[in-house]
Amino acid sequence: MFRILFYRPEIPPNTGNAIRLAANTGCELHLVEPLGFTLEDKQLRRAGLDYHDLARVRVHADLPSAWQALLPAKVYAFSASATRRYTDVAYEPGDVLLFGPESAGLPADVQHAPEITDRLRLPMLPTSRSLNLANTAAITLYEAWRQNGFATA
């Protein structure tokens, strides 16, 4: 299955929703510290409902630790400044979908790291700054899963 990687997430309900997404799709959720909350945060637990025990969630101390656990794999970095659309990729099981913190998105050095296969974006109105993190992860994951026939569903 696919793997979602949140780099330094800040808002507990977004990660809670991603936990629920992971539990319902069979994907893995990887989180890179520092987190803007604890995994015991009430808002995170409420957003994840009772799916915490059904989701595969791993926390990594830093990005190199995440790379060690996830590579080799294709890593798609999502950014509002990317020029290629998320639908222009042929996703394969094991691919990593990388998203940045809610306040600033992925830093340039992460977007252009050698581990990154490609930078992708979701289309939106030109007057918009960004989409919600959990929504973006869900849209992208479901596209990847759709391309693979919703395997295991």
130 is in an annotated binding site: yes
Cα–Cα distances (Å) from 136 to 8, 77, 141, in that order, read: 16, 12, 8
54 is in an annotated binding site: no
The DSSP call for residue 101 is -
pTM: 0.94
Domains and CATH numbers, the chain: 3-148 (3.40.1280.10)
**Amino acid 42: pLDDT:** 75
Whether the predicted pLDDT of 48 surpasses 60: no
Q: pLDDT of 19-40, one tens digit each?
A: 999 999 999 999 999 999 888 7
Q: pLDDT of 111-136, one tens digit each?
A: 999 999 999 999 999 898 888 999 99
- For residue 72, say if its preceding peptide bond is cis, omega within 30 degrees of 0: yes
100 is in an annotated binding site: yes
Q: Which residues contact 9 (CB under 8 A, 6 or more apart)?
A: 15, 31, 35, 36, 37, 101, 102, 133
